A = this chain, B = another copy of it.
Amino acid sequence: MLQVKPQPHSGPAGSDPDAGLSIAEAARRTGVSVHTLRYYERAGLVVTPVGRTAGGRRRYHQFDLQWIVVCTKLRATGMPIKTIRCYAELISAGHGNEQERLALLEAHRADVSAKLAEVQENLRLIDHKIDVYRGRLAAGDADQLWAPPISE
């Protein structure tokens, strides 16, 4: 859903393609607020430190944007910040821990699957209630719906 749009060569905030993007541009392109971008960085959700200008401003490059998008997707499936940091640290540590990365992803996949199944299961109850309400309302006898006991 979120895609890092290719830079149209001369966009706002710097036309030099190698200079990197301002935080505002990065936010716009990733769909994440600037606040959140800084928060993620503080929280350790980085694989490589984001570049800085001489004056200390962040400069986002293609790789940074791609990583941020990955973070949003992991977040969207409910992966906690801590776990994403863990994953980032593994990638950051370089080659040799691919088994661990895989294990982390598989564990998360299992969590998401379980959660998905649970939600779908409970959604059925809601659907059932909706059906019942629709039916009763159409039939004009909504009085028969589940209601609290008169007075115990």
**A interface vs B, CB < 8 Å?**
1, 47-48, 51, 61, 63, 70, 73-74, 76-78, 91-92, 94-95, 98-99, 101-102, 105-106, 108-109, 112-113, 115-116, 118-123, 125-127, 129-130, 133-134, 136-137, 142-143, 145-149, 152
Do A152 and B73 touch across chains, with their CB atoms under 8 A apart?
A: no
Is the contact region of chain A dominated by helix, strand, or loop, or is it mixed?
helix
Do A120 and B116 touch across chains, with their CB atoms under 8 A apart?
A: yes
Complex-state Cα separation, A66 to B113, whole angstroms? 27
User: Which B residues are CB-close (under 8 A) to A146?
Assistant: 91
User: Which B residues are CB-close (under 8 A) to A113?
Assistant: 123
Q: A123-B112, A149-B63 given as contacts; is B130 within 8 A of A1 (CB)?
A: no
User: Which B residues are CB-close (under 8 A) to A76?
Assistant: 118-119, 122
Partner of A102, one of B70, B134, B148: B134
